[in-house]
Structure 1
Amino acid sequence: MSVLPEFFNAMATVPSPVAVATTVDASGRRWGFTGSSFTSLSADPPLILICLGKGASTHAAFTTCDRFLVNVLSAGQAEVARRFATSGIDRFAAGDMSPCESQLPGLPEATARLSCTLYCVMDGGDHSIVVGRVEQATLTGEAPLVSCNRSFTRIAQEPSVV
């Protein structure tokens, strides 16, 4: 009996941040993808990881780049997440990306932006684990977008008690 349906259903219940990673190749072409497998890896040195399917059109660009930017999406950016998860379209056509840290395409209203140099790429089965060394972090204070049970949601914020 295959464990895959149960595995996919179980993993869908784990809330995760939604991030769009972007880079620019040597010819100046912009690349980007939506990743929900994104997390911190190390504080010293400051490392993050984001996972990318080996069959993705963006795979070669991210596994060979010098630097990339991770945009942690804010609660109002679900459409951006969907667009950067869609194959066969110009993901940058909406014009909402602008040069940000390291002049990489970024979202000014993202919850956070992490400018990274490529630290290493590791095998992760049908995905590659792209590890970045964080060179700069920018926070906007926006509430983050979260993926859970195959839909986007926002974290309920409790009022502060003083």
Structure 2
Amino acid sequence: MSIIIRAARPDDIDTIIGFIRALADYERLAHEVKADRATLFNHLFGPRPMAEVLIADRNDAPVGFALFFHNFSTFEGRPGIYLEDLFVVPEARGGGAGKALLQRLARLTLERDCARLEWSVLDWNEPSIAFYRALGARPMDEWTVQRVDGEALRALARVNSCEGHPEC
């Protein structure tokens, strides 16, 4: 029952979508999933990939995934890796897949000369928080995540076309 961690391939797209939906169900956020096959495929495997995925296989069957991308620390002057999602199917939890995914991400972080590996966890998700603490993760309690999306994002993006142009 060894676990193999591998980079996702284009033919994994349906598996990745399945993991995303299962994670959303677990996090009670299924109503927020908008990802579709074509969009996700383009952003993961298209001409300009925006994120990467690792798949955890046990006995040649996918049991978990980690979706991540690079960010950048101006203070460090180096990139980092941000883990957007980590999910292991319930029947495989406790079998080492989650730890193996995080270990591979830690190695990638070092191999790519990144300064840090970061992620967010829902504050009610005590099992995951305990798991992360056991691996040496520490909370960044002084930071609060901020988000602009939907109509607020569209409103923020609107620019008066004459702003900064006295000739208008």
Task: From the two aligned structures, give the one with the greater helix fraction.
Answer: 2
Greater relative contact order (Cα 8 A, min sep 6): structure 1 or 2? 1
Structure 1 length as normaliser, TM-score? 0.27
Task: From the two aligned structures, give the one with the greater strand fraction.
Answer: 1
Structure 2 length as normaliser, TM-score? 0.26
